[in-house]
Amino acid sequence: MDLVPLTPANDTGSTHDHAHAENQLHGHMGHDHHAMMIDDFKKRFYVVLVLTVPIVVLSPMIQHWLNWHIAFSGSQYVLFALSSVVFVYGGWPFLKGWVNEMKAKNPGMMTLIGFAITVAYVYSTATVFGLKGMDFFWELATLILIMLLGHWIEMKSIAGASRELELLVQLMAAEAHLQHGDHVMDVKTDTLKPNDIILIKPGEKIAADGIVVEGETSVNESMLTGESKPVQKKKDDKVIAGSVNGNGAIKVQVLHDMKDSYLSQVINLVNEAQKAKSKTQLLADTAARWLTTIAIVAGIVTFLYWYFNDQSLSFAIERMVTVVVICCPHALGLAVPLVVARSMALSAKNGLLIKNRTAFENARKITTLVFDKTGTLTVGKFEVVRIGAMQKEYTDNDVLQLAAALEQGSEHPIATGIMQKVKELNIQPVKAENIQALIGKGISGTVNQKQVQVVSPGYMKEKLGNSFSAIDIRAGETLVYVLVNNMPAGFIALADQIRPESYEAIKTLHQHHIKTALLTGDNAKVAESVSKELGIDQYIAEVLPHQKLEKVRELQEQGEFVAMTGDGVNDAPALAQADIGIAVGSGSDVAAETAGIVLVNSNPKDIVNLILFGRATYRKMVQNLAWATGYNVVALPLAAGILYKAGILLSPAAGAVLMSVSTVIVAINSSLLKVNNS
């Protein structure tokens, strides 16, 4: 399984194509490969460290400073030989990166480092073979040493940012116990096919998405959904690959291939989202490109200024090298990708799946959050609270039986509520034919040669107009009518409980000055009672899917930045119209196509977390960008020697230290990003 590239695939917009980044940028980077590169930098660092000691000891300038003298016949050639090894072996990743950037006509990080170390090496070599001046081999060695160290630390921090995703990858169980006839055999997970029956022993990882066919247990899904409490599972319940079985053994019927499993889709989503570019990323790329240009121009200007102001050639070159090194847009190149890597992986662990990065970053702009009611603010479990026959020839049980005939195959919350009641009363549902969904209005079919429909009050009003005398709806109730041959046979009233988390979620949104609206196909009384109880700013009831879209557009025309939450199917048009579409409660059905963000649980608190986490992520990116550019604004003039007369001068090695520290600060700041699950 490939790990995420932390910087986008190398296109003309990306300038932070740095040494270790070569492989990382060009497509995916395998975990083993990443580890090998970390080891490679580590090895080069230690070799250069050992060689730097004699180079420093033999350097005339260091000897002059420390007032000692070590010289022997040909000592300058030994110095040259050792420095050549450091330049070629230690500088190789930078020189190779420079060539690649030139080939891509995309100068960046490697160009700056490659240029700086080459100038230092060529000039110092010339002094050994006759040019008047003092070499700075020791500067070259320490510069390469610090660059290698900086890269090594930076790559380790990148590996850290990918670790959460690795953990998700590791959740994949490698093997499964396949029920084969009357015996069980161990097979590789990726060979499982739909409808296979697998055994999950206590404490094991669940090997595939599936339906429990035998046994009862509790399952820990926290790594996948962020839900900390173990979830009880019994016959006919769904289980997710990667979750951990509790203390019961269960048999599970596999739902689909491994590549379609919820976990695979989570990993793919995180991968895709990390590769996608957002506006902040493009801003960082532009800044890095400018910085590269500024560095090269400033370096040349600095050299010319000092050279023509009666300073030695070595002094002018040293200033130029320092300017170029200090400007390396390392920190800038990492400012956004590191935050992205961490935020995507953390989101996935907390049940927030980000399909569209720009939507996620824009979460900070949300001014109005539109909720779909059923299953988001409410539990979504309808219970039948009363039944009424409206014709003499039907009893309450007949009304229920007719409704059940149509609803038995449906997963809609109302259908589930009706079927639950039928079970309780031991009523046998009859068979229905030609079942068709009336989108947003109900369902129709044929039962015993009669046309039967289960429809909303809105449909009744539309169909029968004023001739229809509506049943009084009590607060909190949802009503459906059962029609036989277009005549009302009876009604069924269901009630849905408000989720306990909804109260807290609405309160937190108001504290952050985000307005709330309830958009529901349900009747006005239910909408009003839910809105009042939760303190929602406005409600719009009895709306059909296409009207939901219009309502969202209306809010946008009033200047609101609208996020819409819905369960995907009938909310699809509105989710697409909203500035940010958030699909909720999709569970294993990750591909809620029209939404930019998918919430695994239907918990409204997750929506609040998402917005606050989006704000925190954006804040981190801005902090990193501000630090990475601000540091250059201060460091560049110092490197150029602006305070030379005051006795303040940065050496190339000090410049490299500052550059590496700046990168490490960006890495640490990125790693401090957290999802607030309060």
- Same domain, yes or no: 28 and 135: yes
Q: Which long-range contacts (CB under 8 A, 24 or more apart) does 399-403 make?
A: 399/482, 399/489, 399/490, 399/491, 399/492, 400/425, 400/427, 400/492, 401/427, 401/428, 401/429, 401/430, 402/430, 402/447, 402/452, 402/482, 402/484, 402/489, 403/454, 403/480, 403/482, 403/492
pLDDT digits (tens, 9 = 90+) for 561-602: 999 987 755 677 788 888 998 887 654 454 455 678 888 777
Q: What is the percent of the chain with per-residue pLDDT over 90, rounded to a whole number?
A: 18
- Same domain, yes or no: 464 and 333: no
Most confident listed range (10-24, 152-166, 646-660)? 646-660
Residue 74 lies in a domain: yes
- Same domain, yes or no: 455 and 330: no
CATH assignment at residue 461: 3.40.1110.10
Under a CB-based contact definition with an 8 Å cutoff, are residues 554 and 544 in contact?
no
Which residue among 256, 280, 302 closes a domain? 256
Catalytic hit among 17, 196, 372, 579: 372
Instruction: Look at 2-6, 62-66, 450-454, 590-594 and tell me which has the smallest mean pLDDT.
Output: 2-6
- Same domain, yes or no: 333 and 431: no
Checking if the pLDDT of 261 tops 80, the result is: no
Specify the pLDDT at position 677.
62
Specify the pLDDT at position 8.
31
Residue 339 lies in a domain: yes
Please spell the DSSP secondary structure of 212-227, one letter per residue: EEE--EEEE-HHHH--
Specify the pLDDT at position 374.
66
Known catalytic residue: 372? yes
- Same domain, yes or no: 467 and 329: no
Confidence of residue 487 (pLDDT cuts 50, 70, 90): confident
Specify the pLDDT at position 369.
94
Residue 447 lies in a domain: yes
Smallest Cα–Cα separation from 415: which of 470, 459, 454? Answer: 454
Average pLDDT, integer, range 182-195: 88
Predicted TM-score of the model (pTM): 0.65
Residue 150 lies in a domain: yes
Q: How far apart are CA 272 and CA 658, in angstroms?
A: 34
Residue 175 lies in a domain: no
φ, ψ for residue 58 (rounded to 5)?
Answer: -85, -5
Residue 449 lies in a domain: yes
Checking if the pLDDT of 30 tops 60, the result is: no
User: DSSP alpha helices (H): ranges in 235-329?
Assistant: 262-275, 279-307, 313-326
Number of domains in the chain: 3
pLDDT digits (tens, 9 = 90+) for 334-391: 777 778 778 877 887 787 878 777 888 888 899 999 987 666 788 767 788 889 998 8
Specify the pLDDT at position 2.
32
Checking if the pLDDT of 535 tops 90, the result is: yes
- Same domain, yes or no: 286 and 245: no
- Same domain, yes or no: 238 and 116: no
Residue 8 lies in a domain: no
Residue 563 lies in a domain: no
- Same domain, yes or no: 133 and 206: no
Contacts of 84 (CB under 8 A, 6+ apart): 121, 125
Which residue among 256, 281, 309 closes a domain? 256
CATH assignment at residue 207: 2.70.150.10
pLDDT digits (tens, 9 = 90+) for 309-320: 878 887 888 888
Specify the pLDDT at position 601.
76
- Same domain, yes or no: 156 and 304: yes
Q: Which amino acid is located at 100 in the chain?
A: N
Checking if the pLDDT of 13 tops 80, the result is: no
Which residue among 256, 278, 309 closes a domain? 256
Which range of residues forms the domain containing residue 428?
A: 379-497
- Same domain, yes or no: 447 and 301: no
